[in-house]
Amino acid sequence: MVTAEEFPSQSAVMADDPTKPGGKRLAFTGAAGHVMEILSTSMNFTYTYLRAPDKSWGLQKSDGTWSGMLGLITREEVEFTPGPFFLDLTRSQWMEYSAYIFKGGYTVLAARGRPEADPWSFVLPLAPTVWAILLIALLAVCTVMLLLPFCFPAHTQEPGSVDANSFNCVRVLLQEDIKRTKSRWWWDRVMLGVWMLMILVLTQSYVGNLMSLLAVRYIDQPYQSLDDVLDNSHVRIILVQNTLIIQYLKMARSGPLRKLGNLMGTERIAYRSFAELSQSLETIVRDGSHVVFDLDIIYNNVLPKSFSLTGTCDFYMSRSSYLTTPLAMLAQKNSPFMSRLNKLAYSLVESGLYDKWQKFSHPNSSTCKNPPRIITVTSAFSLSNLWGMFVVLGCGCAVAFVVLVMEQMFGGTKWRE
């Protein structure tokens, strides 16, 4: 007698078997089925699956007993389970682990945002430091052009040429025509020529990068760690019920896991079974009101199913991972099967078979593992791309109008004179 439950790489099915009542027997496809087939063939035994009444993996209850598959093992109703189960000290005191067969960790799964254009992309071709240095350079050049003529006799400069030379630098930056001056000195022309060359290179680079950035769409992926989720009080967190993560959260003493544990029993935590995850993903997770916090290998099942239905990668996993732990098969304490289970575990890891079963257990299993955050499109420019520029234009017009009013109120007579 063995036990198993559904997992991303294995599913429960009713197989044809004329020797069983009703002509059907419980079987598992995927990793669990492969493990049992290898063991039964190599050790020459037959087996029958027994599922726990609550169809859960199991936890230790307050009275010390165990639920789910762990309860079947501790009560010696089954010999072992292909699992896989997280290695845990408390469990190891009641049952025995095989050598590990792969590793997994807990990550956040959330809905991806829709592709959006950045209306302020016209400032992105230059880094903030470049904008600052450009402004400093402009002020420095204008200052030099304004002050150096005063080092020469006044009769060497035409009236107004000092102001014209300094403001020519601003005209060059704004790609306007410059005013011709009658300066007798070559240094101002050389300096203006060097400034024009620098601005030419800078503006051509800016124009090329700007055209590229206007074709970019950004896909919002705000939750890259558990702290990001906890900081947003409006999003709820889905946990898979009757799994080891519930126990870990209760035992955590610090960090984001402690903060998440403090939320247990509040409205921010929603519990679902593994079978209900796919439905939750297509409803409350897709609309952005919920995220899932569970094993990354669990997503090997739900993500391919979502992609097969929609043809798009609508969800993403966070970059941060928590509680990365080996997973192994589990048997009764001092089980005679343990030596064979260990040997099989070593073979599966060395050959990479179990990892292959995990990755290719479903069609499109690797398509949405790392969806891009930035995509490029070919489309006509719209107001959503360019409204930032019009905001700058409107602010400039408003400032100019205020200056015009102030000139008329306080300096109109002086200017007319």
Check residue 73 and give its pLDDT: 93
Q: Are strands 315-317 and 95-111 parallel, antiparallel or unpaired?
A: antiparallel
pLDDT at 198 (0 to 100): 87
Q: CA–CA separation, 357 vs 350, rounded Å?
A: 14
Q: How far, in Å, are 1, 30, 50, 330 from residue 36 at the CA level? A: 11, 10, 14, 13
Helix/strand/coil for 270:
strand
The pLDDT value recorded for residue 153 is 61
Residues with Cβ within 8 Å of residue 5, at least 6 apart in sequence: 12, 51, 52, 55, 56, 57, 68, 69
Listed in sequence order, the residues at least 6 apart from 250 whose beta carbon sits closer than 8 Å to its beta carbon are 261, 264
Q: Which residue numbers in the chain have pLDDT < 50?
A: 155, 415
Q: Which two tokens stand for residue 218?
A: 């950004």
CB atoms within 10 A of CB 311: 10
Cα–chain center distance at 226? 11
pLDDT of residue 331: 93
The span from the CA of 336 to the CA of 98, in Å, is 12
| Per-residue model confidence (pLDDT) at position 332 | 92
Question: How many Å apart are CA 296 and CA 309, to the nearest integer?
Answer: 21
